[in-house]
Amino acid sequence: MKPVFCSLALVGAFSLSWNGFAWEPAPASMLSEWGEAVTPENVWTEYPRPILERVNWTNLNGLWEYAVTDGEQRRVPKDWDGEILVPFALESALSGVKQGLRPDQALWYRRSFATPDGGEGERTLLNFEAVDYFCELWLNDKELGSHTGGNLPFSFDITEYLKRGKNTLVLKVVDRTDTQGAYQTHGKQRLDPSGIWYTPVSGIWQTVWLEQVPEYYVTEAKITPSIDGTVDVVLKTVGKGNGQDASVVVSLAGQEVARASGPPSGIRVNIPDPQLWSPDSPTLYDITIQLGNDIVESYTGLRETTVVEGEDGHLRLALNGEIVFHWGTLDQGWWPGGLLTPPSDAAMASDIHFLKAAGFNMLRKHIKVEPRRYYTHCDRIGILVWQDQVSTGFGKNRIEEKAISSAEWTKLAPDPADAVWPEDAHEQFMAEFQVMVDTLYNHPSIVQWVPFNEGWGQHRTLEVGRWIADYDPTRQVNIASGGNFFPVGHIVDGHKYPNPRFPFEFGEGGRFDGFVKVIGEFGGHGFPVEGHLWDPEARNWGYGKLPKDEAEWRSRYRKSLEMLTDLKDKGIAAGLYTQTSDVEGEVNGLLTYDRKVRKITAEELSQIHSELGLIER
C-alpha cells in the first residue's frame, strides 16, 4: 500500500509569500545537481517513515517565516526576518538564509496550515523528523510542549488544539552545539568549523508532517525476524482498544505468504520457505498490520548477524551463518547545500548506489542519524550499516571533565579512561541513544551499534556497553570505534591514518581475546578537484601530504588496500576507508562534496577491490 500524498491545495492553503520575492538558495554557494533542482514546491515530498506507513498524511515542508532573537525572549516575535525553506537548517544555503545561530540566540519559526480532513473520531499527530536541538512549540497560541535532542523524530497529538480553517504553529529553537557544559549530541558540528569539524546546523532539518490516525492506533511496531522464517511483532499502542487483537499479513512480491493474529503484546508469524536478506540478495517481505481501524504498512528482511570463529582461528563477522568481510566507507552524510540535510531523496540514495556499485558491502554512518528513508534505501539496495550514536565532547577542556589522550584512542593501549559526566547529562545521552535504537530497530541493513567514537564524550563505557548489548541482542556492539577500548560488546576497533594498521601487541595477555578485531577508519587520502572545492582559499587537506597528481593518489589508495588485505589475513574482520565524499575542507572522498565528480569510477573501484580479494565476484 502506498501512502496518499495530500493535495497541494491543502498543503499550501496558507502558504507564505514574503514581500513578493521568490525563494532562492543563498548566493555564491556550492550545490549538487539535486540541490540546484530544489524548489519550495518539490522539497522533500516523500513519505518520511516507510518502515511504518499510513495513508492519510500532510506534508508541512516548504516556506515558513523565521526570526532570530535573543535566546531569553519568550514572546512570539512581532516582526519576522523573512522566509526559510523547511526542512533545511538556518545555516544551510538551501534554507535561503545561510545564517549562523549563536548559543545565546533563539530561532523562531511560524507557519499556518488548514485543518486536515478526517473521519469521525480520528486524531491528528504533528510529527517532526528532527529539530536541532531544544524546541518549544505553540499551536493557535496554546503551548504544545517541548523536546530535547537534535537527531531523532518526535510527535504531538494536536487534536484538541486544532480549530476549523487556519491554524498557526510557532516553534522556538535553542542550539548550544559544542558549548562547554551543554553536553549536546552534535556530531561533527562545531561553532568554529575547521579540519574535521563542519558548519553547525540549527533548527528544523528533516521533514515536518501531519498524520491522521484512529482513536486506537499503533505508535510503534517492533519486528524481530529469524532466519528460520519466524517473525515476532510487538506493538505499542495508544487509546482504548477493548482488548482487540491485531492481525499481521506477510507478503512477498505481492503474494501473501503468511498471516497471524493475537494481542498487540506479541504476535508470531511463520514464513514458509524463508528467503534470506543479504547485500547480494536484499529480499524484503512486506507486512500489513491491522489494529481495529488502524492499518499500517511495514516490511522486514530475514537475516542474522553473528560472531563466529574462522578456520584460521580468528573471530569473524557472519551474516546468515556465512563469514563476511565487512568492507566499506566511513560515511559522513553531509551535503554542500543542505549540510546535514540531503537535498533530496534521490540524492541520498545516489551515494548508496555508488558504494554498492563500487564493490563495498557496508558503510559506517558516522556520528549522524540519517532521515528514516535512508535506511530503507540501504535495506532495498542491500548494504550493511554500522550505526554510530551521535557524539558529544571531543577533547580536553571541552565537554569532558577528564580528558582522554589521543594515544589511548589510536593505540588501543591498556588502562582506558572514562570521562566524568553529571547524572542529568548521562540520562539525556542514554535517552537519545535508546530512541535511536528504537527508531531504527526494524531495518535489516543495520548490523552494528557504535556508542562512542575516539573517546568523544566517552563515559560510563562498561555501563553503556552492557546496556545496549542487553537491549538489542540481535546486533553486534562496537563499544568505542578508534580505541579507548573497554572489554564489553563484541568488537575491538582501531583507527590508523593514512595506511591501515592494527596494534595487535596491545592485546597481548588476552586483553582482546573474545573480541572481533576491525579497522574502523583508515585511508583519508586527499585529492582536491579544481572547481569542486567548498572553499578554494581555505586549507583543503587529506591525511598525509596531498599527492602531486591523480596517478599518485590512485597509487596511494591501492597501497592502503594492499596493506588491508595483509591485515585481513592476520585476523582483521572489517576495514573502513575514509571516506565516501569530500566534506567542506576535507578532500579525502571518493566523490567530490558536490557529488559532481567521481574521482574513481564505481567500475574501477569494484575491479580493484575484486583483484585484492576484498570482495567476491
Give pLDDT, residue 419. 87
Q: 192-241 pLDDT, tens per residue?
A: 999 999 999 999 999 999 999 999 999 999 999 999 999 999 999 999 87
Give pLDDT, residue 112. 97
Residues of the chain with pLDDT under 50: 1-20, 395-403, 409
Q: Cα separation of 511 and 468, whole Å?
A: 21
Give pLDDT, residue 22. 83
Give pLDDT, residue 407. 55
Give pLDDT, residue 118. 72
Q: What secondary structure letter does DSSP report for 497?
A: S
Q: 280-320 pLDDT, tens per residue?
A: 999 999 999 999 999 999 999 999 999 999 999 999 999 99
Q: Cα separation of 71 and 69, whole Å?
A: 6
Q: Are 99 and 90 within 8 A, CB to CB?
A: yes
Residues 6+ apart with CB under 8 A from 334: 188, 198, 340, 368, 581, 583, 584, 593
DSSP assignments along 182-249, one per residue: -----TTB-SS--TT-B----EE-S-EEEEEE-SSEEEEEEEEE-TTSEEEEEEEEES--TT--EEEE
Least Cα distance to 484 among 384, 541, 595, 408 occurs for 408
The cell for 173 is 529553537
Give pLDDT, residue 119. 72
Cis before 498 (ω within 30): yes
pTM: 0.94
Q: Are 527 and 550 within 8 A, CB to CB?
A: yes
Give pLDDT, residue 551. 97
Give pLDDT, residue 616. 73
